[in-house]
Amino acid sequence: MPEPTIASTVCIDPRSLHDRLDDVEIIDVRTPGEFESVHVPTSKNLPLNDLDRHVAGGLVLLSILASIVFPPARFIAGFIGAGLVFAAVTNTCAMGMLLSKLPYNRPSST
C-alpha cells in the first residue's frame, strides 16, 4: 500500500505562477460571475457559497438523524438554519469567514 501524500500550501509569486500553471492546481472560491469575468486560465471554480450549502446541509441532515437517538440534537439543525437566514438577511457568510481563518487557507510565513 503506498504511503499517503500530504499536500503542502506554498505561496507563489504571481509573476512566477505563469510558468508553473501545468504544475499547480488553482481553486478559485469566488462566485461564478466573478470567476467568469477574470480568472487564471487553468483554475477551477469552487465557490465558497456552494461549500457552505454542502456543509450546512450535511450538518442539518446529521443532526436530524442524530435526534432520533438524542432528541436535543435537533437544536443544531435549528441553529444552522438561523445562521443561514442571518447570512441571507445580512449578505454575509459566517461559515466562509470561519473557513478563511483555517491555517491551510492562509499563506505560510516563510
pLDDT tens-place string over residues 28-45:
888 888 889 988 888 888
Helices (H), 1-110: 14-17, 32-37, 48-66, 74-90, 94-101
Spatial distance between the Cα atoms of 65 and 50, rounded to a whole number of angstroms: 23
Where do the domains of the chain lie?
Answer: 1-46, 48-110
Q: Residues 8-25: what's their mean pLDDT?
A: 74
Q: What is the pTM of this model?
A: 0.46
In this prediction, what percent of the chain has a pLDDT beyond 90? 13
